[in-house]
């Protein structure tokens, strides 16, 4: 009896605040703008809430796939999906390139330094995401610190345009998600038995070859976990493309935000959210399956 109560409380909470909301999003994505939300209603005026509610209820009665047809007929949305996946994928690769040497160095550092090094990687993750993205604006903008230094040192004569470009978005993603990549990499590198490398060395294997044939293959679980942890949230990222990207940087999280807050088109933003979820469901399921397998192996 008690057992069921312990299960029921978090279970019902998650059903109510996580699962059911998704069904509401799905339902709304199948209704029309005109019935679901009358135009010219201010988005945050609570007095009109009941009017909205009534119209949403009315809208739910008439399912159609118009919003999906609209998304797939308009290049803007398809391009935004494609470019989000492309930007997130490339950014994940760059994050891996920077994180691997760092995690590798941490795993080989003296044992008594390692807890401190791990804490130093985690600390920025606890610091506000918004603030860390904001910090790059002052560095990257035209009259920012990076251009100031490069021009003072005589490396460049004209300021570089990095701010409000896709390059700035890559920098922002790599910077913000670096801890998510370093920690799983470090966890798998740290576990590697040193005698394996000694054996390789004794058998005359040069260090670089031992790295590619022993260390790297053994670190692959960490590489995979890190890549998923960066890629999945980066696809739907809003803050980074909005603050660092330019008007030509298309990312679906930003499109959804604009559709909702600027165009006030709830049904279309719901349809965008449903399609985004469908894009991400495959990597999310694979990731959970891999994690589950790893937990069971331990």
Partner 1 sequence: MKGRFSWFNATSIAFGFAFLYLPILLLVIYSFNDSKLVTVWGGWSTRWYTGLLNNQGLMDAAWVTIRVALISSTIAVVLGTLAAIVLVRMGRFPGRTLFSGMIFAPLVMPEVITGLSLLLLFVAINFDRGFWTVVLAHATFTMCFAAVVIQARLYDFDKSVEEAAMDLGASPVSTFFQVTLPIIAPSVISAWLLAFTLSLDDLVIASFATGPGGTTLPMKIYSQVRLGVTPEINAISTIMIALVTVGVIIASYMTRLSATRAETDKRKADAAMT
Residues 18-47 within binding reach of partner 1 (CB under 8 A): 18-22, 24-25, 28, 44, 46
Q: Which stretch binds partner 1 (CB under 8 A): 8-16, 65-73, 75-83, 151-159?
A: 8-16
Contact with partner 1 (CB under 8 A) among 30, 31, 33, 56:
56
CB of 221 to partner 1, least distance (A): 14
Contact with partner 1 (CB under 8 A) among 239, 246, 264, 290:
239
Contact with partner 1 (CB under 8 A) among 62, 74, 93, 128:
128
227 contacts 181 by C-beta, under 8 angstroms = yes
For the chain, where are the alpha helices, taking DSSP H only?
2-14, 20-29, 33-36, 49-60, 66-73, 75-108, 114-126, 129-140, 145-152, 166-190, 194-202, 207-210, 216-235, 239-243, 252-261, 266-297
The residue among 136 and 166 lying less far from partner 1, judged by its C-beta, is 136
263 touches partner 1 by CB under 8 A: no
CA distances from 191 to 76, 104, 179, 187 (A): 46, 12, 18, 7
286 touches partner 1 by CB under 8 A: no
84 contacts 255 by C-beta, under 8 angstroms = no
Rounded distance between C-alpha atoms, residue 199 and residue 201, angstroms: 5
117 touches partner 1 by CB under 8 A: yes
- Which residue in the block uniquely carries the two structure tokens 């995690």? 103
Contact with partner 1 (CB under 8 A) among 78, 90, 96, 137:
137
Contact with partner 1 (CB under 8 A) among 14, 51, 69, 76:
14
CB of 63 to partner 1, least distance (A): 16
User: At how many degrees (to 10) do helices 75-108 and 66-73 cross?
Assistant: 80
- Which residue in the block uniquely carries the two structure tokens 């049904």? 267
225 touches partner 1 by CB under 8 A: no
Contact with partner 1 (CB under 8 A) among 41, 58, 97, 135:
135
Which residues in 180-219 contact partner 1 (CB under 8 A)?
Answer: 182, 189-194, 197
247 touches partner 1 by CB under 8 A: no
The residue among 143 and 158 lying less far from partner 1, judged by its C-beta, is 143
Contact with partner 1 (CB under 8 A) among 229, 240, 250, 271:
229
Contact with partner 1 (CB under 8 A) among 42, 73, 75, 126:
126
Per-residue burial over 17-42, b if 16 or more Cβ lie within 10 Å, else e, is: eeeeeeeebebbbbbebebbbeeeee
The residue among 34 and 145 lying less far from partner 1, judged by its C-beta, is 145
In the chain, the N- to C-terminal Cα span, in Å, equals 31
277 contacts 292 by C-beta, under 8 angstroms = no
- Site map for partner 1, 68-107, x if CB under 8 A? ------------------------------xx-xx-xxxx
Rounded distance between C-alpha atoms, residue 27 and residue 61, angstroms: 10
The residue among 8 and 34 lying less far from partner 1, judged by its C-beta, is 8
134 touches partner 1 by CB under 8 A: yes
């Amino acid at each position: 009896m008690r057992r069921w109560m312990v299960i029921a409380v978090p279970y019902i909470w998650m059903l109510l605040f996580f699962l059911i909301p998704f069904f509401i999003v799905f339902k709304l994505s199948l209704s029309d703008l005109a019935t679901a939300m009358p135009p010219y209603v201010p988005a945050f005026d609570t007095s009109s809430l009941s009017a909205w509610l009534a119209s949403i209820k009315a809208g739910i009665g008439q399912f159609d796939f118009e919003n999906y047809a609209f998304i797939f007929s308009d290049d803007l949305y398809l391009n935004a999906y494609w470019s989000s996946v492309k930007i997130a994928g490339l950014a994940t690769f760059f994050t891996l390139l920077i994180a691997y040497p760092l995690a590798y160095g941490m795993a080989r550092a003296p044992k008594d330094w390692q807890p401190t090094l791990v804490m130093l990687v985690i600390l920025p993750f606890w610091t506000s995401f918004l603030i860390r993205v904001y910090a790059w604006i002052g560095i990257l903008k035209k009259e920012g610190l990076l251009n100031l230094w490069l021009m003072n040192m005589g490396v460049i004569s004209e300021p570089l345009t990095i701010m409000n470009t896709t390059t700035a978005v890559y920098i922002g993603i790599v910077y913000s998600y670096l801890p998510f990549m370093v920690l799983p990499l470090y966890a798998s590198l740290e576990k590697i038995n040193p005698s394996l490398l000694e054996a390789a060395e004794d058998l005359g294997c040069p260090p670089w070859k031992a790295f590619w044939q022993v260390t790297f293959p053994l670190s692959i679980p960490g590489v995979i976990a890190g890549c998923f942890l960066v890629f999945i949230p980066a696809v739907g990222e809003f803050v980074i493309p909005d603050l660092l990207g330019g008007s030509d940087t298309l990312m679906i999280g930003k499109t959804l935000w604009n559709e909702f807050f600027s165009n006030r088109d709830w049904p279309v933003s719901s349809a965008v959210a449903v399609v985004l979820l469908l894009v991400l469901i495959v990597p999310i399921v694979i990731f959970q399956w891999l994690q589950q397998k790893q937990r069971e192996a331990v």
